[in-house]
A = this chain, B = another copy of it.
Amino acid sequence: MYRLYRTPQYLALLASLVLTLLCTTAQAEDGYRMWLRYDTIADNTLKQQYRAQLQQLVATDQSPTLAAARAELTRGLNGLLGQSIKPSKAAQGAGNLIIGTPDSSANIAALKLGDRLNAVGPEGFIITRAKVAGQRATVIAANSDAGVLYGAFHLLRLMQTQSDIAHIDVQSAPSVQHRVVNHWDNLNRIVERGYAGLSLWEWGNLPEYQNNPRYIDYARINASLGINGTVINNVNADARILSDAFLAKAAALAEVFRPYGIKLYLSVKFNSPMLLDDFDTADPLDPKVQKWWRERVKKVYQYIPDFGGFLVKANSEGQPGPQDFGRNHADGANMLADALAPYNGLVFWRAFVYAPEQGDRFREAYDEFKPLDGKFRDNVIVQIKNGPIDFQPREPFSPLFGALQKTNIALEVQVSQEYFGFSNHLAYQGPLFEEALDADTYAQGAGSTIGKILAGNVFDYKHTGMAAVINPGTDRNWTGHTFVQSSWYAFGRLAWDVGLSSAAIADEWARMTFNNKDDVLAPVTDIMAISREAGVNYRMPLGLTHLYAQGHHYGPAPWHDTSGRPDWTAYYYHQADKDGIGYDRTKTGSHAIEQYYPHWATQFAKPETTPEALLLWFHHLPWSYKMDSGRSLWQELVHKYDTGVNQVREMQTQWQELKGKIDPERFSQVEAQLKVQLRDAIYWRDACVSYFASVSGLALPKGSSAPAHPLEYYKNQEKIRYVPDPWYPFPSAH
């Protein structure tokens, strides 16, 4: 017994006991670390294998990016292995991990990886085993320092998910060039559609307080996914972002992000010359306006030498744009592109446009942009939302994909859950992103998926991109709901590799975020798998869309039929009356289906060949319309609402499986959030079913329970119900 007290094992045990006791008290698992947790590997056999293979880290701090890679591996391996990895300048002895480029590492140069490195391009990496200094070593090699950093994160991910790395041989390059996150952060730090606290950017003490640890951790989180750009301010832009005062602040952030391979972009307001310098026009063809932008851009690059470029929301929802001056989107985008071109800057120009006077909002982006295909400069990227309307729980893919063949494009998706219950609801967006990427446009025949288009395999684009509106804020876990982290994760992984499945990504994320145990992974991934469909079902099944209350997008208001503009009512979208429901987009209606290639135009033309999940997007049908299930449309609709509520109950049941198997803090928070979600799901179901029953005049199908309250109750609640969103003006009656 006494012997035990002085064995290294005992010492280690003691140390770890004390550590657990004190650290646990000091810091519970609050989600701050996201998927970069690096807790010591529980499986002892595997840990010993890893320890033997990775004893020494051969790396230099020759550049800030290489230093970041070395720091991350040190932090990650020290955590995962539960022991310190030794730093070294050159390989010696056994168990070397060697990282670098042929330029920065003599060991790697000596491996002569030329062909393989050529194949992974400027940002890709190789992780392999090779003989170095007479011993087998693990090698992370790339053509650029950023590639090394991405490889470092990849190795850590493999270890976090307990993969076998004994014979590792990975060769990886990103599918999409520009992998960009978009923040809808206002300069007053209130985040539009954020729901996770205030903006991360503390403008009030920038540029002075650059050492905010969250800035670096934010960069690490993104870099771990290969994200290489961030637009830090809202597309509903404030012109002052281009003032010298704010450029100095933004430059301080850009400096923090730079070592992590992340370029900073800014959203700009199209009429900035008018707002900042009292110009009487912002006409993009006016030479003095062009000069103003050239000079401002020059100033931007003085502050931020590797500035990424501008993101622009123009002539959309009240934002100014070139059309205000009789010009088109290409005129506007090109003017900015010309100012940015000398510095290799880009313009992301959003295709999210719609005007109150037009007929079918669905049609508008295509109708405005398709005629301009080929008219944009080659440093302009048209950024297109996945669907034709606006991040709804389910949309058909936007017909602009495949239509713009001579114009660089980017796909825009949303991680923040504007239409998915904010940070109160669990709704893993991976399946939605996957659905979008896998959508086949048939632009060049079968197999012309959006994913392949973005990967540059269909058209000859100079640039492609994927952008996600993300919501991190000052909430301790960044995203408000732990599972919103998973959608951020999924976006990054898919932008790197458009071919990944959302299920595989969920498994990865769950392992890194919770742990590798089967009885944890199964419930977590099951919940994730159904969560998006649950959200569709209890809100707007069968292709219904936009039944939200105006403005806040939290609760239901299918009865909403008057507003400043028709496309801001719910009635506009569902068109329900005594005889039927749905929006006719065939040739008897708006004929929006003509925007698709023939394969889909034909399928969408008839209800029988339209996928039921999209049915009411394209057809106005009688309540008695017979569904595949044999139920009437009315019965099926109520059935779907009931299914959605039951799916939330199922998610609750699954979550309870995790009690005691994951940390109590996150368990408890998600448990409570699922209660809120069930409360809200029932509310959605009851309100919508009440309303559609009142419109159709039909009785509830047998077995479907009556709503808790009469319809009037839900209508009255709309004005007083609490909306958890600081950005949204709390109903102002009081």
Q: Chain A interface (Cβ within 8 Å of chain B)? A: 5-6, 11, 14-16, 18-19, 21-23, 25-28, 30, 33, 75, 78-79, 84, 186-190, 197-198, 202-205, 208-213, 238-240, 243, 245-246, 269, 275-276, 422, 424, 474-476, 665, 668-669, 672-673, 675-676, 679, 720, 722-726, 728-730, 733-734
Contacts and interface: CB of A to CB of B under 8 A. Distances in A.
Nearest to A665: B213
A240 B720 contact: yes
Given A204-B422, A204-B723, 9 more contacts: A5-B6, A19-B23, A22-B23, A26-B27, A26-B33, A197-B198, A204-B676, A211-B672, A213-B665
Total copies of this chain within the assembly: 2
Given A28-B213, A79-B25, A245-B722, A730 B205 contact: no
A668 B208 CA distance: 10
A392 to B, nearest CB: 22
A459 to B, nearest CB: 38
Given A672-B208, A724-B205, A730 B238 contact: yes
A729 B210 CA distance: 25
Contacts of A209: 668-669, 672-673, 676
A22 B74 CA distance: 12
B722 A275 contact: no
A722 B241 CA distance: 11
B25 A75 contact: yes
23 contacts: A5-B6, A6-B6, A14-B14, A14-B15, A15-B19, A19-B23, A23-B23, A26-B33, A27-B27, A187-B730, A188-B730, A189-B726, A190-B190, A198-B474, A203-B724, A204-B722, A205-B676, A209-B668, A209-B669, A213-B665, A240-B722, A275-B734, A474-B474
Nearest to A275: B734
B668 A211 contact: yes
Contacts of A18: 15-16, 18-19
Contacts of A243: 720
B733 A275 contact: yes
A205 B424 contact: yes
Nearest to A727: B188
A253 B668 CA distance: 16
> 9 shortest A-B CB distances, which residue pairs?
A204-B724, A209-B672, A6-B6, A15-B18, A208-B672, A208-B675, A188-B730, A211-B668, A239-B734
A669 B672 CA distance: 34
A425 to B, nearest CB: 10
Contact of A19 (B22, B27, B474, B675): B22
A9 to B, nearest CB: 13
A424 B208 CA distance: 11
A712 to B, nearest CB: 16
A318 to B, nearest CB: 14
A17 to B, nearest CB: 8
B238 A734 contact: yes
A240 B27 contact: no
A203 to B, nearest CB: 6
Nearest to A188: B730
A466 B67 CA distance: 53
A26 B76 CA distance: 11
A205 B27 contact: no
Contacts of A23: 19, 22-23, 26-27
Contacts of A276: 734
Contacts of A30: 213
Contacts of A21: 78, 84
Given A210-B672, A275-B733, A672-B209, A188 B424 contact: no
A722 B203 contact: yes
Given A15-B18, A205-B724, A672-B208, A240 B734 contact: yes
Nearest to A269: B734
A214 to B, nearest CB: 8
Contacts of A14: 11, 14-15
Contacts of A204: 422, 424, 676, 722-725
A474 B478 CA distance: 12
A200 to B, nearest CB: 11
A540 B459 CA distance: 66
Contacts of A208: 672-673, 675-676, 679
A197 B21 CA distance: 31
A601 to B, nearest CB: 43
A509 to B, nearest CB: 20
A723 B240 CA distance: 13
Instruction: Identify the interface centre among A84, A202, A208, A211: most chain B CB within 10 Å of its CB.
Output: A208
Choose among A25, A198, A729 the residue with the greatest number of B CB atoms under 10 Å from its CB: A198
A724 B246 CA distance: 13
A388 to B, nearest CB: 30
Contacts of A19: 15, 18-19, 22-23
A652 to B, nearest CB: 12
Nearest to A75: B25
A27 B23 CA distance: 9
A673 B14 CA distance: 41
A75 B14 CA distance: 19
A275 B719 CA distance: 13
B672 A205 contact: yes
A495 B563 CA distance: 53
Nearest to A33: B26
Nearest to A276: B734
A168 B362 CA distance: 77
Contacts of A676: 204-205, 208-209
Contacts of A79: 22, 25
A78 B25 CA distance: 10
Contacts of A5: 6
Nearest to A30: B213
Contacts of A26: 23, 27, 33
Contacts of A202: 724
Contact of A673 (B198, B205, B210): B205
Nearest to A733: B275
